[in-house]
């Protein structure tokens, strides 16, 4: 009798955990092992490399930057990871996939696209599968030297505006293309805007997302206008 074929609930985003992960579990502290698993999930599979976004990591792990830095130090001391400039590479002994060095030159470009994809698909007001057109646009942003930080700012700004319109009953249409946010790159690159402003925009977008989700779950709830953040919104 044939064994039933295992079926993944989520076809993407998973990571092969084998003897390399078991070895890491036996060697690391609980904190460093948790960080190791996070890095494995984020790394590009062909190169074991990633560019660690500290803001995302602290949010996903629920830890402060010092905790992450201590974990990275332990991983490097145990020769499980290496720092590569602004990036990180998981060492071969602790990486379950066969690395493909020939793809290393494309790693920064691929990592940029991967992180743009993750940031784009995260908001609840986005309904998309990250199409070929979206990928080409992300590559174009990379080649124009638009930073990941600036892409995230544009996404936060665009979402804040979209949720404001949704909460005010002006639209119910979700965002379906990365181009919606790409049109805002010029705005977020204005040098006179302080970096602290974007953290404010992120918080407001998250607050409005929660309100919009509550409204969507309760059709009879009254629509309440949400004033936009100051200045740009």
CA distance 226 to 204: 10
C-beta atoms surrounding 103 within 10 Å: 14
Q: Which residue has the higher pLDDT, 100 or 27?
A: 27
Please tell me whether residues 117 and 181 are part of one structural domain. Answer: yes
Confirm whether 212 is domain-assigned. yes
With respect to residue 115, please indicate whether it lies within any of the assigned structural domains.
yes
Rounded distance between C-alpha atoms, residue 133 and residue 139, angstroms: 10
Q: Tokens at residue 76, please? A: 């490097």
Half-sphere exposure of 217 (CA within 13 A, CB side): 7
The reply to whether 130 and 209 lie within a common domain is yes
Look at residue 49 and give its three-state secondary structure: strand
Residue among 121, 149, 154 nearest 53 (CA): 149
Closest CA to 208 of 163, 171, 161: 163
Query: 26 lies in a domain?
Result: yes
Q: Residue 186's CB: how many other CB atoms inside 10 A?
A: 9
- Tell whether 77 is covered by a domain: yes
Q: What is the per-residue pLDDT across 129-152, written as a single tens digit (0 to 9) for each?
A: 888 888 889 989 988 889 999 999
SS3 category, 31: helix
Q: State whether 127 and 212 are in the same domain.
A: yes
Residues 75 and 126 in one domain: no
Same domain? For 182 and 115 the reply is yes
pLDDT score for 101? 64
Judgement on whether residues 87 and 128 belong to the same structural domain of the protein: no
Do 121 and 206 belong to one domain? yes
Pairwise pLDDT comparison (34 vs 193), residue with the higher score: 34
Task: Tell whether 208 is covered by a domain.
Answer: yes
**pLDDT of 130:** 83
Task: Give residue 104's pLDDT.
Answer: 53
Identify whether 176 is part of a domain.
yes
Please indicate, yes or no, if residue 228 is contained in any of the structural domains: no
Q: Which of 99, 125, 147 is the last residue of a domain?
A: 99
The pLDDT tens digits of the residues spanning 53-92 come to 777 788 889 988 889 999 999 999 999 998 875 578 899 9
pTM above 0.85, yes or no: no
Q: Per residue in 169-226, pLDDT tens?
A: 887 889 999 999 999 999 998 888 887 899 899 999 999 999 999 887 654 444 444 4
Long-range pairs, 172-175, Cβ under 8 A, ≥24: 174/125, 174/126, 174/127, 175/123, 175/125, 175/126, 175/127, 175/128
Which range of residues forms the domain containing residue 213?
106-217
Shared-domain flag, residues 182 and 118: yes
Pair 93, 124 in one domain: no
Domain end residue (candidates: 63, 80, 99) = 99
CB 121 within 8 A of CB 128: yes
In the chain, the number of structural domains is 2
Q: How far apart are CA 23 and CA 232, in angstroms?
A: 50
Residue 11 lies in a domain: no
Q: Does residue 102 carry a pLDDT above 70?
A: no
Query: Domain containing 92 — which CATH number?
Result: 1.10.10.10
The radius of gyration computed from the CA coordinates of the chain, to the nearest angstrom, equals 20
90 and 160, same domain (yes or no): no
């Amino acid at each position: 009798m044939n064994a039933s074929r295992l079926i993944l609930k989520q076809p993407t985003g998973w990571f092969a955990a084998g003897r390399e992960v078991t070895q890491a579990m036996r060697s690391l502290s609980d904190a460093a092992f948790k960080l190791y698993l996070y890095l494995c999930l984020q790394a590009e599979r062909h190169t074991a490399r990633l560019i660690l976004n500290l803001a995302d990591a602290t949010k996903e792990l629920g830890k402060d930057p010092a905790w992450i830095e201590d974990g990275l130090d332990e991983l490097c001391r145990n020769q499980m990871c290496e720092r590569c400039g602004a990036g990180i590479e998981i060492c071969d002994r602790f990486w379950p996939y066969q690395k493909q060095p020939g793809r290393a030159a494309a790693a920064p470009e691929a990592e940029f696209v991967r992180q743009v994809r993750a940031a784009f698909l995260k908001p609840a007001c986005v309904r998309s599968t990250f199409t070929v057109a979206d990928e080409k646009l992300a590559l174009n942003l990379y080649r124009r030297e638009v930073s990941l930080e600036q892409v995230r700012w544009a996404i936060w700004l665009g979402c804040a505006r979209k949720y404001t319109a949704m909460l005010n009953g002006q639209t119910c249409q979700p965002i379906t293309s990365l181009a919606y946010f790409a049109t805002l790159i010029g705005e977020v690159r204005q040098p006179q805007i302080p970096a602290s402003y974007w953290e404010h925009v992120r918080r407001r977008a998250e607050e409005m997302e929660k309100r919009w989700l509550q409204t969507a779950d309760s059709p009879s709830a009254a629509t309440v206008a949400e004033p936009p953040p100051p200045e740009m919104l």
